[in-house]
């Protein structure tokens, strides 16, 4: 899959740098052609000789090397690659990338490249959680940098938490997913339908029923799918977010409008119903503003159930998207309610998240989810919504690669 692909591997400092040697070997086993930049901090943990020997090429370190600049140059080094991979990416390297600093060969090459960049962060748990790193991460995600990890677990310093370098196999899988697909992207040629944001159900011309959904998770997922080559149709409720690059956006207000727009967007290979759709609408919404009365009595509103977009799309038979992904925003009994929803609505995967008071998920920039499918449950620890989106997009890409026809592992026709 990686035969002939050119990868520039930048090795940052930290004890996790030792994993870069195995990564070099594994990438070469897949047929990739590697050039490596080793930072001065990285050289404290792995030697230039080891990197050079394994990569079968010169190990580049010095920005001001007369020989290296004459023979290769940091501009050519950064642009004669199909992918720039930073592993491990330290907090320092992330900060330099986010703010456009270029004071060594690695940061200069990253600033000069016009190629996609993928990074695998590795640092102490408190450094990863620090507000400065969180800001830098958000800036890099907005710039289109893709992330692999970090993982959670026991750190070399003895602390436990998020910040471990992802395992080599996971980094390799992310690289392979990046290069797969007919146009070098794993979701090329596939159409994704994504719903996002809240809906608003009219009470009268000035009032409506809504919820606290910001649309951030759905928009991030739409952008991540597009970055992997999918043609994405994003059906969005009323939000103040910018449309992700390469995404076709359709704005709606009510649940009825969202369903109509979703059906009109078909056929699709996958549908991700991320939107927080209002369960009820007002029967006979007023055409004039409802006024207070002299007797002080509150108006009586009659409600009707809104259409179920997820269940409708999942039950379309031959027109059903091949992969149906629902979202379950719950405040109690998270896993039980989410699995019941998956079975009841006939979707393939459910992404469950806790939106109770204090979680900060609704309207926030971070999320923690549990992915539920026929294969079981998988907990993804709290991280940015962009990181969740990228990981989910890669998982979807892996699903379609393993099943080229896009068929779900188990048909749910009998459930509908």
- Catalogue the active-site residues: 157
Q: What are the residues whose beta carbons fall under 8 Å from the beta carbon of 64, sequence distance 6 or more?
A: none
Element housing 127 (H / E) = helix 125-129
Instruction: Answer yes or no: is 299 a known binding residue.
Output: no
Instruction: Answer yes or no: is 64 a known binding residue.
Output: no
Instruction: Answer yes or no: is 183 a known binding residue.
Output: no
Q: How far apart are the first and last CA of the chain?
A: 39
Token pair 């943990």: residue:
45
For residues 241 and 249, what is the distance between their CA atoms, to the nearest angstrom? Answer: 11
Q: Which residues of 260-296 are buried (b: 16+ CB within 10 A; e: fewer)?
A: bbbeebeebbbbbbbbbbbeebbeebbeeeeeeeeee
Element housing 118 (H / E) = strand 117-121
Instruction: Answer yes or no: is 310 a known binding residue.
Output: yes
What distance separates the 2 farthest-apart alpha carbons in the chain?
Answer: 90
Quick count: other Cβ atoms within 10 Å of Cβ 153?
11
Phi and psi, residue 286, nearest 5°: -65, 140
Q: Where are the alpha helices (DSSP H) in 206-345?
A: 216-227, 255-265, 309-314, 334-345
| Total length of the chain | 416
Element housing 234 (H / E) = strand 231-236
Instruction: Answer yes or no: is 279 a known binding residue.
Output: yes
Instruction: Answer yes or no: is 289 a known binding residue.
Output: yes
Please report, for the chain, how many H helices and E strands are present, in that order. Answer: 14, 20
Instruction: Answer yes or no: is 341 a known binding residue.
Output: yes
For residues 340 and 350, what is the distance between their CA atoms, to the nearest angstrom? Answer: 10
Instruction: Answer yes or no: is 308 a known binding residue.
Output: yes
For residues 349 and 327, what is the distance between their CA atoms, to the nearest angstrom? Answer: 8
DSSP labels for 308-363?
A: -HHHHHHT-GGGS-SEEEEEEEESSSHHHHHHHHHHHHT-SEEEEEE-STTS--TT
Positions at the binding site: 279, 289, 307-310, 327, 341, 345
Positions at the binding site for CTP: 279, 289, 307-310, 327, 341, 345
């Amino acid at each position: 899959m990686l035969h002939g692909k050119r990868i520039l591997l930048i090795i940052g400092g930290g004890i996790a740098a030792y994993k870069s040697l195995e990564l070099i070997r594994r990438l070469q086993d897949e047929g990739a052609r590697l050039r490596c930049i080793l930072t001065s901090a990285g050289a404290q943990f792995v030697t230039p000789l080891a990197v050079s020997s394994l990569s079968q090429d010169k190990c580049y370190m010095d920005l001001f090397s007369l020989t290296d600049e004459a023979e290769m140059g940091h501009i050519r080094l950064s642009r004669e690659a199909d992918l720039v991979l930073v592993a491990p990416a330290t907090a320092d390297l992330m900060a330099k990338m986010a703010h456009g600093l270029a004071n060594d060969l690695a940061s200069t090459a990253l600033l000069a490249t016009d190629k996609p960049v993928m990074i695998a962060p590795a640092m102490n748990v408190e450094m990863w959680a620090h507000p400065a790193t969180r800001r830098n991460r958000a800036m890099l995600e907005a710039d289109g940098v893709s992330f692999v990890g970090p993982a959670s677990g026991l750190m070399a310093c003895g602390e436990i938490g998020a910040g471990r370098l992802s395992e080599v196999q996971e980094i390799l899988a992310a690289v392979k997913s990046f290069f797969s697909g007919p146009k070098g992207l794993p979701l090329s040629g596939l159409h994704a339908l994504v719903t996002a944001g809240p809906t608003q159900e009219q009470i009268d011309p000035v009032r409506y029923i809504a919820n606290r959904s910001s649309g951030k998770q759905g928009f991030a997922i739409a952008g991540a799918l597009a970055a992997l080559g999918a043609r994405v149709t994003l059906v969005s409720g009323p939000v103040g977010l910018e449309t992700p690059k390469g995404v076709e956006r359709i704005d709606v207000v009510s649940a009825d409008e969202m369903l109509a727009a979703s059906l009109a967007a078909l056929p699709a290979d996958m549908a991700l119903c991320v939107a927080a759709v209002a369960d009820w609408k007002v029967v006979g919404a007023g055409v004039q503003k409802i006024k207070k009365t002299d007797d002080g009595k509150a108006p009586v509103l009659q409600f009707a159930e809104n259409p179920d977009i997820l269940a409708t799309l999942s039950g379309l038979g031959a027109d059903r998207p091949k992969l149906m992904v629902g979202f379950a925003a719950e405040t109690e009994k998270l896993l039980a309610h989410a699995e019941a929803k998956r079975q009841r609505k006939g979707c393939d995967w459910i992404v469950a998240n806790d939106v109770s008071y204090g979680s900060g998920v609704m309207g926030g920039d971070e999320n923690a989810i549990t992915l539920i499918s026929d294969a079981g449950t998988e907990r993804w620890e709290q991280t940015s919504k962009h990181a969740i989106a990228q990981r989910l997009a890669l998982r979807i890409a892996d699903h379609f690669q393993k099943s080229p026809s896009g068929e779900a592992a188990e048909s749910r026709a009998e459930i509908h």
